[in-house]
Amino acid sequence: MLVNAERFLADLHTLRSFGASGVGKGVVRPAYSQPDMAARDWLAQQMLDAGLRVVVDPMGNLFGLAEGPSLLLGSHSDSQPEGGWLDGALGVIAALEVARTCRAAGGPAVSIVSFQDEEGRFGVTTGSAVWSGHLALKEADLLCDHEGISLADARRVVNVTGEVDANQFTGFIEMHIEQGPVLDAANKQIGVVSDIVGIRDVKITFEGQQNHAGTTPMHVRKDAFQAVSAFNHALEQRFSNVVTPSTVWTIGHINLHPNASSIVPGRAVFSMQWRDGDTHRLEQMERIIRTLANEVADDRGMQVTFGPLLGLEPVAMDGKLRAALEGAAEAVTLGNWRVMPSGALHDATNVSRLMPVAMVFVPSINGISHAFEEDTAEVDLVAGLKVLEAAVQSLGS
Ligand code: HGY
Ligand code: MN
Ligand code: MN
């Protein structure tokens, strides 16, 4: 059995054409947008052509199913608001290439998935969170994006054809770009993932008093932006005895109301996200965040409110699937690989509730991702594909 590297690369470029944007090979293909839905229609046709049965579930997760028990491969095909061409797409197209090659060779049986809203327009890995039972659909439906559109409204564009029973799958392998600097800096071609970190994500609102920016003296202002600024400034020091060098936290989105040069902002809504491999540390950080936000609001005579806390726990990869990837990485790269944790979140975290999971990484040039500049050398993309193929073969035989 031999995967077709040219067909695989050509398919990756075709998928990129849906929402192609920005400099380099960037894409703008957020969940449920027109380019995302068009890309999913194209993917569904590729799955049919590969002899798979296509099912779209109520979240819009797209499955291409082999008959009988099968190994599930895949990732996601939605993007960040500004994303690269490989994040998620690589795992889906590699899955397609391995599935059709296996089918042509008479086995092993491989099914494919492209999960919906992995990039969290509405939550954190929303499509696989719902499919795996981590998040109830009726709770997910209440989640809103930064424009206030609910998931319930956004997913009306999905043509639902059924539900997919996870019991038919023997395991899940997700191939992905690393999205960080480790492999690139170490000149390694493949990373076999040991663990995926945990995450917490919450929207915080400071409510002050909207007022005139010329006439309102500084000492009487209740400026919501100044509250965010004070909170952010104090946070690093409050975290200092709790975090490790691999702990990360981000305020990535802020909505200031009414967002005008001559108005003291009355309301600020911002995203607060933190990630670590230790659940206890994630909880300590949550307590610090809530306490500090309350202190900042009290000091300024303002109100603070918290949205729903979203999160995923850290997970370890399955030993048997991981060993298959390690054996394949050794055979394909002749030792030029390493074991590493994942600092990015992945659908595999949710899927691990249902079946054994494992992940394989290829390098990200200069460690850049969630940006238009994201890229990986073709030779590394193909090496990753071959590792995936070899792992599937060894598990199937
Ligand atoms: O944010 C993440 O880690 C993932 O790419 N959604
Ligand atoms: Mn991804
Ligand atoms: Mn991503």
Residues with CB under 6 A from ligand 1: 118-120, 344-345
Å from CA of 170 to ligand 1 middle: 25
Å from CA of 197 to ligand 1 middle: 11
CA atoms of 258 and 236, how far apart (whole Å)? 28
What's residue 379's pLDDT? 98
**Which residue has a Cα nearest atom 4 of ligand 1?**
345
CA atoms of 167 and 92, how far apart (whole Å)? 21
Geometric angle at alpha carbon 274, from 373 and 254, rounded to 5°: 70
What's residue 397's pLDDT? 65
Å from CA of 76 to ligand 3 middle: 9
Q: Among 79, 119, 193, 349, which is best to mutate for testing ligand 1, by the most ligand atoms less than 8 A from CB? A: 119
Ligand having the closest approach to the CA of 89: 2
Å from CA of 79 to ligand 3 middle: 7
What's residue 392's pLDDT? 98
Q: Among 79, 196, 342, 346, which is best to mutate for testing ligand 1, by the most ligand atoms less than 8 A from CB? A: 346
CA atoms of 284 and 263, how far apart (whole Å)? 36
What's residue 22's pLDDT? 75
The answer to whether residues 212 and 359 touch, using CB atoms and an 8 Å cutoff, is no
Q: Is the dihedral of CA 124, 128, 129, 135 positive or negative?
A: positive
Q: Among 115, 197, 345, 374, which is best to mutate for testing ligand 1, by the most ligand atoms less than 8 A from CB? A: 345
What's residue 24's pLDDT? 82
**Which residue has a Cα nearest atom 6 of ligand 1?**
119
The answer to whether residues 117 and 130 touch, using CB atoms and an 8 Å cutoff, is no
The answer to whether residues 374 and 86 touch, using CB atoms and an 8 Å cutoff, is yes
Q: Residues lining ligand 2 (ion), CB within 5 A? A: 87-88
Å from CA of 369 to ligand 3 middle: 8
At 43-94, the pLDDT tens digits run: 999 999 999 999 999 999 999 999 999 999 999 999 999 999 999 999 999 9
Mean of the per-residue pLDDT values for the chain? 97
Residues of the chain with pLDDT under 50: none
Residues ≥6 apart with Cβ < 8 Å to 381: 8, 9, 12, 86, 90, 362
Atom of ligand 1 nearest to the CA of 87: 5
Å from CA of 231 to ligand 2 middle: 30
